[in-house]
Structure 1
């Protein structure tokens, strides 16, 4: 039996032992002070996060995929991060996938016993044809969830890249993985409620991991999400603005370029900045593996219409 008292995330927080007696404003002041510790915990592991981003991007560039697995809050955070990649970066839904113990129903209601099964993650990963070319991020605040442990063991046996995200020192999943991301956020405001500080830390780290990976894959130009999928009116307007901001063109020019580019902001920027044809632009982007800056420079090193290119010289 696991001694929960030895886990950082299960210890009692001395700063909040009388939080139930506090006036409400004092209560939320204490909460905010504890939440402020999350950023400092993440700052300590930035080198490991950077290593995880580079390793993940390398796998995905060679045809691999990124998987998150977890149970409860940790699983939900993985599913959330994965589900936001297609609309933000125009990725195939298969590229980044989130798997939660207990399946889709567990997103809305706890599935008793699912997280305690050591073999269930292997079955879930096998069902998605997980291979040695892929990346698995096991997420567990305590670092000892059997479902996540089983998934990481299976991934390692295949030779896949394994990353562990936990919030307790010396966790079991950290010992298993190739790269351990361990932002130690300390005891929770409400003892054991890891949806709070630990959950916030996990969300921030996952934001960094997926965003950094997409930047390395050429999904961002400057700070513009040039592969955004314009699937609604708001995103269509965002695509127009991205073309205008990325190329310095007018709204009318952006709309015309987007029509030529079949709505693809990245290609539209390339058309405006270089004056190339849509066919030439598609070829350049293919040769640059989707990196817009490289595609622009394949035509010319002097891009007067692009402020970003001017800065690079």
Structure 2
């Protein structure tokens, strides 16, 4: 971490010809965008030139919707990196792949290794290097493991860097958005905060900053009862077919957008189930491709979009959560809260303040809300040299933990998680296809080939696989699976009961709570 921070400092000394690029797929790509934007704002505040850029597989559409097919394309990854860094003489590339598995990132790392005169690659992930994905990438001689092996050799002379602490299993198996996402945020913020500081990068400074996140985690979970109440409210809304809306300000609002966007691929949710809106919309976002509103309703992200398209149909069965801090325009928060309260009493708030800095209008907001989680941060929480920036990072980290708990808990209430498995995940790229096949093996006890056969039957909605289907490319299977609802539940019930696909669909219609349908099938089998 110290050495990478020093490399960032070299970039800061020559902003004209140098660049830092953060890149990833899905959650990792969204966090790459989030942190690159935040780091640039902080650099401008410190009178540095902004030097950070981001790449996300699938482009800016992937900030709000599932675009997982591009994750499988290493050539596309390399081309995106080449485009964003065109003309630069020194590039520090930070590729994030929590499971050391994304072909898109592997292609970018390989590109860096082939151009060492310009690029220094940094890989952030949370598996040991020997567990990097060994499966061949279609149409390519690379594997993620082969790229990591080359990086390990170069790391001995600090020409490449691996930052891969082992985190252990996620609470929801296979979903790296929680621990993996939080750890990504911590590691990169520690590195960049150290590099932005005008004092030397030291071991103790890095350690102190790391420990401040541990305190922030403990402080956040000291509010577990209030967070649980939010989780239950959101869960009740989803259970009765209604929605949850996050209305946020500043970077806390952006975290609401990110959390909401992760629910569709993780839980097989509809984009209406949990939605995020941020004050200022795309002006606040500052993304590469600008305003995407015309691309469809899921790209409508401003408070005005909420007022025009969502507020008129809100009822008490919907849940609205306000996300803000005392440094935001609390008058604006109060005005929006009053408008929401006219439509639903099911309005809640998560509010951050520093001890002694309470906003005057907060009492009014408390009266409008069914519940308010007030995070009052002690003054000593901001005593690190990075000051205001560190305080904001803590609030963001705390908000991410809260939102992950609310959205995950709500989908557990809805029955979208079986044991600790994402039973209704979308099968939209090779990683998720393999994950679905392994999950079917684990739950059914059937062989790998039988599970893949059932998965294909569910994707193609047939009882018998034709030769064309059996020999179809993985890419084609993934494309078709996007249009099929409940692929994994369909395949599992098919395996456990031997029923036809029509009978399986009928069973799931009779028991729409996926977890309960799975439990019934497993008991009877």
Give the TM-score, by structure 1 length: 0.78
Cα distance in 2, alignment partners of residues 49 and 209 from structure 1: 7
Cα distance in 2, alignment partners of residues 23 and 123 from structure 1: 44
Answer 1 or 2: higher relative contact order, Cα 8 Å, separation at least 6: 1
The counterpart of 1:126, out of the listed 307, 312, 315, is 307
Aligned to 2:329: 145
1:255 CA displacement? 1.1
Aligned to 1:167: 352
Cα distance in 1, alignment partners of residues 240 and 496 from structure 2: 29
Q: Which has the larger radius of gyration?
A: 2
Note the residue ranges of structure 2 that are not aligned, 5 or more in a row.
Answer: 1-196, 288-301, 460-480, 482-486
Contact preservation (8 Å) 2:418, 2:518: no
The counterpart of 1:231, out of the listed 405, 423, 428, is 428
2:346 pairs with 1:157: no
Cα distance in 1, alignment partners of residues 200 and 309 from structure 2: 49
Residues 23 and 231 from structure 1, CA distance in 2 versus in 1: closer, same or farther, beyond 3 angstroms?
Answer: closer
- CA shift digits 1:30-60 (9 cap, x unpaired): 2122111112112211122122111111112
1:195 counterpart SS class? helix
2:257 counterpart SS class? helix
- CA shift digits 1:111-162 (9 cap, x unpaired): xxxxxxxxxx764322222212321111013386334333322221112411
2:422 counterpart SS class? coil
1:209 CA displacement? 0.5
1:249 counterpart SS class? coil
Cα distance in 2, alignment partners of residues 229 and 299 from structure 1: 21
- CA shift digits 1:79-114 (9 cap, x unpaired): 1001111111111112211111111232127xxxxx
Residues 276 and 183 from structure 1, CA distance in 2 versus in 1: closer, same or farther, beyond 3 angstroms?
Answer: farther
Residues 200 and 253 from structure 1, CA distance in 2 versus in 1: closer, same or farther, beyond 3 angstroms?
Answer: same
1:164 CA displacement? 0.8
Contact preservation (8 Å) 2:247, 2:303: no
Give the strand-richer structure, 1 or 2.
Answer: 2
Alpha-carbon RMSD:
2.5
Note the residue ranges of structure 1 that are not aligned, 5 or more in a row.
Answer: 1-18, 110-120, 304-313
2:437 pairs with 1:240: yes
Alignment of 1:162-241 (within 5 A): 162-168=347-353, 172=362, 173-186=365-378, 187-188=381-382, 189=384, 190-193=386-389, 194-241=391-438
Contact preservation (8 Å) 1:83, 1:97: yes
Q: How many residues align?
A: 273
